[in-house]
Structure formats: structure tokens, C-alpha cells
Amino acid sequence: MKIYLPKILYTIINFMILYFILNRFLFKPVNKTIDSRKNEIQSNIKQAEEDRKQAEFLKNENENKIKESKAQGKKLVEDYKVKAEKVSQEIIGEAHVEAEKIIERATKEIKRQKEKVEDEIKDNTINLAIQLASKALEESIDEEKHRQLIEDFIAKVGN
């Protein structure tokens, strides 16, 4: 095998020219495209990480707001329970007061009716006593005097 130096030299020169041409028109644009794509991907990864952190923050914030809302709702329910219980107690108290007033009025009315009936019975008794006395004595005594005597007698006997 014989080595041809001009051929080797020519091949090396051809290879160098081809390398510079490829480097200038192929490798540099391809490397530039690869680098820009790499930077874009890194930027997207970085943005995705920031978005994930932001989403996690918002999720935690929303969970805290939900917990807070539930606590406020529970507090409102408890407040309304207390208010309802208070109103219920007030209504019951007012009903008791009204019932006591009704009982008191009924008691007074019963007492008044009793006194009225007693007065009627007293008047009837006095009238009967006067009629009996006037028939028994058959003399005419002043009716007013009879009435006074009988009332005194009933008052003494009644007590």
C-alpha cells in the first residue's frame, strides 16, 4: 500500500473546508437552535415550577378561607341558637306572667262573684227574716230597724 501525500493533503484540506462550511452553515444554526430550545425549555420548566408554587399557595389560601368560613358559619349558628333560646325563654316568661295575670283576674272575679252571691244571700235572708218576724209579731215595726237588727245578728253569727 502506497501512501500518497498529495491525496492525503488534499483530503485533509477538503475535510477542513467541509468542516468550516458545515460549521458555518449547519453546526452553528443547529447549535443556536438547540441552545434557544434548551433555554426555552428551562424557562418553561422554571415558569411551571413558579406556577405550581403559586397554585399550591392559592390552594392553601383557599383551604384556610374555607376553614374560616366554616368557623364563621358555626359561630353564626351558635349565636342564632343562643338568640333563639333567649327569645324562647322570653316568650315562656311572658306566657307565665300572662297566665299569672289571668289567674289573678279570675281569682278576683271569683271573689267578687262570691261576695255578690253572699250579699244576695244576706239580702234574701234579711228579707225572709223580716217577713217571718213581721208575721210572728204581727205588729208593724219599722222595716229599717228590723233590717238593722237582722244584719247585726247575721254579722255576729257569720263571724
- The 10s digit of each residue's pLDDT in 58-95 is 999 999 999 999 999 999 999 999 999 999 999 999 99
> Is the pLDDT reported for residue 8 higher than 70?
yes
Range of the domain at 32: 5-158
Q: In this prediction, what percent of the chain has a pLDDT beyond 90? A: 58
Residues 6+ apart with CB under 8 A from 154: 122, 125, 126
SS3 3: coil
Instruction: Give the end-to-end CA distance of the chain in Å, rounded to a whole number.
Output: 167
pLDDT at position 90 is 93
* 150: number of Cβ within 10 Å: 19
Domain count for the chain: 1
SS3 140: coil
With cut-offs at 50, 70 and 90, classify the pLDDT of residue 158: low
* pTM for this predicted structure: 0.43
Give ∠ CA 50-52-56 in degrees, rounded to 5.
115
Exposure of 17 in the CB half-sphere (CA atoms within 13 A): 6
